[in-house]
Structure 1
């Protein structure tokens, strides 16, 4: 009995922490990454479960909250928000986790008991058991409620409908899926096909694609520690959509290249891996913490570049006066293209944020175009699918620089799930000689 009691307490503690993380995102506005950061009291197995519960309950937040509202006889008080979060975690388990219903209920009720208020145990038990009894009725009603059915906020649905009227339903479906795991093979150590063979020998199944020279798609996500040569820098984790940046830059030996919003460094690293003979790489970011992470990643990959902590738009503070042959502006954006990888975007992002990002993007473009050398190329990229930040931004930019003639321009929009990639936008402009 002591072992059983101890197990229930441990399982309850894990669910309570998951509820606290959920509340940190929903109420306090923290990202899932920051909310989970520093929690190291669990074993690897339990930490994986905690992450699954935390990400899953946020991924399906709008649906789960709608269900909770229907299942509660009356709304909970503001100071009972942690119980609301615990109910959301419990509802997520019952619908998407491979945990027996009786265990999911018992462990969530156990978590409520840790709060020292017996009435909460009865409430959580009643709500979760009512869900099990009325699940079919709830699902039928849910299908008539667009917000619950799609698990997206009203403003986000409206934006997707306006920009992608024929694709928006497919987009929200992809957003609700767990993300695939893509690898980027470091050519410094081996070819992509050679590394694919090493994965197969290790029992890890993956697939290569002709139009993605360094990318491999894993059949199932794996802990990075299980990837052959990961610690030695032979491979990195990076979505295939992000890997396209290198090709659009059209790199050549001897060029001076700027990555203007570089951290955490995946695109900069890919530039150096793809074309180690470039003359110089300058990588900027105004987030010092993320730049530190980038430096650590460069060390793992045995790469070197000029990493600078600065606002890229404040050119006079960091530029040496020598124009760049290639500029990558991987601009801050609403990130609506990577929701399946960062589901907290559905909870944290607001409609008013779009205009703020548009202003930041324009500030960067206006500041960086003048330091591009004649004959050089500027590549503008985002991880969003909002046309105001992408297609309309490109149109604004070309009109803005019409006095400084450009030679050519083009773009590519990738929608979430296209080729199993995240959503990205790329536009490139060549400056006239």
Structure 2
């Protein structure tokens, strides 16, 4: 993030007001993906950067605010104070702090109240809270650090769950979630070799390193339209962990020509596209949301790929299946998204503890519904972008126990933890910033006797 705004940039007070609206929306259960488009286009990049920063430090800010204010202020005022405190608090990670002078943050936060249309009497309260924080910062931060929510910037139940599921790595997982994820590309091998594309990037002044079979990690994020060959479909944005799906499902599989493959929960189409880049396949891509199906179409069109795309609920095959079995199935199941908090910092504050059980039940229904659609000898790759074991190894163990006679577990990575908390040979070794959190299980149906 940049330093204090220059003369010709948008006033910080305007950005703070809109950031407060974003934080208020999240606290009301609305996702940033839904809320951010309401921000005026000229303000959106700065507001998104401030909002991401605030969400990564929201636990600390809210605990400090509780110490500063005996009575809870109005919700928008609380959100504004929280945003300002995330700019004033000492970050756990050096270099993670936007460079605004403390007096500027205080003054601009007070000025932001006018845009939020809250009573003018709140100006003194906001000013007083922030100035008291600056006077007593070491004591207040030390006191807040005794609270796990402030220390780890996650809900307490989330901290407990990660600690239980990954007792050797829970601290690394939580710390990784508070870092910005790198921008990773998947090179379209049908258009250009990965190393050739890497050379193009470097020739145009981009610092980048290879990862996996088709991936490239950029040292700094850039607008996609500036990437060489973007409009021609030479590359897509996709984390290295997600790029494992296509090779896991297809490598070593005895697939017929033009094998029939189902991508069961396909939107926005990244894994669908990678499957088609990887091999000549007859792919059916499903998603329950018709709007998201449009995104699949758009992504495939840019990449020069074709698949049958249908809006349908994968858990209800009677409504869409034509009775022809699939040679392979990819089930990227709906989940808590607890593995991609680096990219979606609102997720941790939107989720509730009972979401895990509800989503695990949905995952189980999908596995049960799709398994009969797989040919004998075929493969099903189950994956989630979650670090919670209930959505990963526990889910698969329960499924295999129900289908012990016909389901064989093939080698797969299992749980990948965000930011390289646990290195994965051949992937994390050269993935700057590590991978997103993912789970992979590869199941094979027993062939006919």
**Pairwise TM-score range, normalised by the shorter structure:** over 0.9
1:266: how far off?
0.7
User: Deviations for 1:376-396, whole angstroms, at most 9, x for unmatched residues?
Assistant: 100000011111111111111
Q: When the two structures are superposed, what TM-score results if normalisation uses the length of structure 2?
A: 0.89
Q: When the two structures are superposed, what TM-score results if normalisation uses the length of structure 1?
A: 0.92
- SS of the aligned residue for 2:245 comes to helix
CA distance in 2, matches of 1:402, 1:42: 54
User: Deviations for 1:86-127, whole angstroms, at most 9, x for unmatched residues?
Assistant: 111111223421222222222211101332632222222222
**1:324 equivalent in structure 2:** 326
**2:208 equivalent in structure 1:** 206
**2:243 equivalent in structure 1:** 243
Runs of 4+ aligned structure 1 residues displaced above 6 Å come to 6-9
Give 1 or 2: higher helix fraction: 1
Give the superposed CA RMSD: 1.8
CA contact (8 A) 1:8 1:107 kept: no
CA distance in 2, matches of 1:132, 1:363: 53
**1:90 maps to 2:84:** yes
- SS of the aligned residue for 1:328 comes to strand
**1:425 equivalent in structure 2:** 439
- SS of the aligned residue for 1:411 comes to strand
CA distance in 2, matches of 1:335, 1:42: 27
**Matches of residues 3-42 of structure 1 in structure 2 within 5 Å?**
10-26=11-27, 28-39=28-39, 41-42=40-41
CA distance in 1, matches of 2:10, 2:123: 13
CA distance in 2, matches of 1:8, 1:330: 42
Gaps of 5+ in 2: 90-96, 421-427, 429-433
CA contact (8 A) 2:201 2:208 kept: yes
User: Deviations for 1:22-61, whole angstroms, at most 9, x for unmatched residues?
Assistant: 10111x201111110243x242xx4211101112212221
User: Deviations for 1:210-263, whole angstroms, at most 9, x for unmatched residues?
Assistant: xx1110111112221221121221111111000000111025542110000000
**1:351 maps to 2:365:** no
Decide which moves more: 293-302 or 116-125: 116-125
**Matches of residues 178-257 of structure 1 in structure 2 within 5 Å?**
178-209=180-211, 212-250=212-250, 252=255, 253-257=257-261
CA distance in 1, matches of 2:155, 2:435: 23
- SS of the aligned residue for 1:388 comes to helix
1:76 paired residue among 72, 86, 96: 72
1:175: how far off?
0.7
CA distance in 2, matches of 1:407, 1:178: 37
CA distance in 1, matches of 2:102, 2:227: 34
1:9: how far off?
8.5
CA distance in 1, matches of 2:137, 2:416: 37
**1:154 maps to 2:156:** yes
Decide which moves more: 301-310 or 119-128: 119-128
CA contact (8 A) 1:113 1:121 kept: no
CA contact (8 A) 2:248 2:412 kept: no
**1:258 equivalent in structure 2:** 262
CA distance in 1, matches of 2:124, 2:408: 70
CA distance in 1, matches of 2:152, 2:201: 36
- SS of the aligned residue for 1:240 comes to coil
**Matches of residues 18-417 of structure 1 in structure 2 within 5 Å?**
18-26=19-27, 28-39=28-39, 41-43=40-42, 46-72=43-69, 74-77=70-73, 80-95=74-89, 96-114=97-115, 115=117, 117-209=119-211, 212-250=212-250, 252=255, 253-275=257-279, 277-278=280-281, 280-403=282-405, 405-412=406-413, 413-417=415-419
CA distance in 1, matches of 2:438, 2:216: 18
- SS of the aligned residue for 1:37 comes to helix
Seen in structure 2, the aligned counterparts of structure 1 residues 330 and 8 have a Cα distance that, compared at 3 Å, is closer
Q: How many residues align?
A: 417
CA contact (8 A) 1:184 1:216 kept: yes
Gaps of 5+ in 1: none
